Amino acid sequence: MVTPSFPAMRMRRGRSAPWIRDMLAEHRLHPSDLIWPLFICEGQGQEEPISTLPGVSRWSVDRLAEKAREARELGIPCVALFPNTPANLRSEDAREALNPDNLICRAIKAIKDAVPEVGILTDVALDPYTAHGHDGLTDANGRVLNDETTAVLVQQALVQAVSGADIVAPSDMMDGRVGAIRQGLEKAGCIDTAIMAYAAKYASAFYGPFRDAVGSRGLLKGDKRGYQMDPANGAEALREVALDLAEGADMVMVKPGLPYLDVLARVKDRFGVPTFAYQVSGEYAMIEAAAAAGAGERDALVLETLLAFKRAGATGVLTYHAPLAARLIAEQ
């Protein structure tokens, strides 16, 4: 048998023109894949640029309707809300989290009144409300208390759900909190409120700009490694996801994003449930810094990283680049 002098299969044939690349593409981005995180501040008519998140601002409640309308026009189905609670309202017991007239609750109502068709995801955790910056209540030694915190998280989730949140997203990493929140929502009649569990949330170095955005940088006493996951562990994430699903989570999340694509892929392959990734503040800031330094082209970097999430199995992505990405997708 004579071996041919040419390749038996030329893979480049499938890359030879835009039409065939489009036809053979295994994954596609769509604006409906995106969730847009928005930061909230007190005041009227306020926009507060965040220096460590270039292009991202905090918005006063009265300005949020226009952001929600922008999301609707771009085809972004959901926004995620995070408050910058004033220092005088932060306390050891995080009681402002349970105030039905706090920043989050007012923001939910303002968006639902103006643009009811846009979904709202809310963060369930105490770090935007505690004086010490931890995600839960602490004892005299600074140790975060699991069960006592969970009881408060249930009340926080209920306050948000009653205000109109479509998805409550516990990000605190307390054991058993998903089951407790699910039970609390059911008992209160909030049977249609979904839970997106931050199931695999790592104690990451990529959260710095977010802490600036919610005003908690410098408050934290110690670190969060006692409850957030060790970056060395992958199999542990599967156990965390399994527990949250068993307790009633409708969707799960892996956070951060790009450094944990392997975890994202394993979760989706193992469970096959709606699985989201959070392209966190440090990831966003690195793309912006690279673009500003001329080390890469912003639009291409944004679309390539988001496509990486889809390739790894993400149902959707929380990203501060959501409006830019939606516009770029529409132009393609």
Q: Is 255 a catalytic residue?
A: yes
- Residue 73 annotated as part of some ligand binding site: no
Domain boundaries, the chain: 29-331
Q: To which H or E segment does residue 122 belong?
A: strand 119-124
* Length of the chain in terms of residues written: 332
Catalytic residue among 67, 112, 224, 255: 255
Catalytic residue among 201, 224, 268, 310: 201
Beta carbons of 36 and 118 less than 8 angstroms apart: no
pLDDT of residue 254: 98
Phi, psi for residue 277 in degrees, rounded to 5: -125, 150
CA distance 142 to 102: 26
Beta carbons of 317 and 261 less than 8 angstroms apart: no
Largest CA distance in the chain: 84
pLDDT of residue 218: 78
pLDDT beneath 70: ranges in the chain: 1-4
Pairing of strands 78-83, 167-170: unpaired
Give the predicted TM-score (pTM) of the model.
0.95
pLDDT of residue 7: 82
What superfamily does domain 29-331 belong to in CATH?
Answer: Aldolase class I (3.20.20.70)
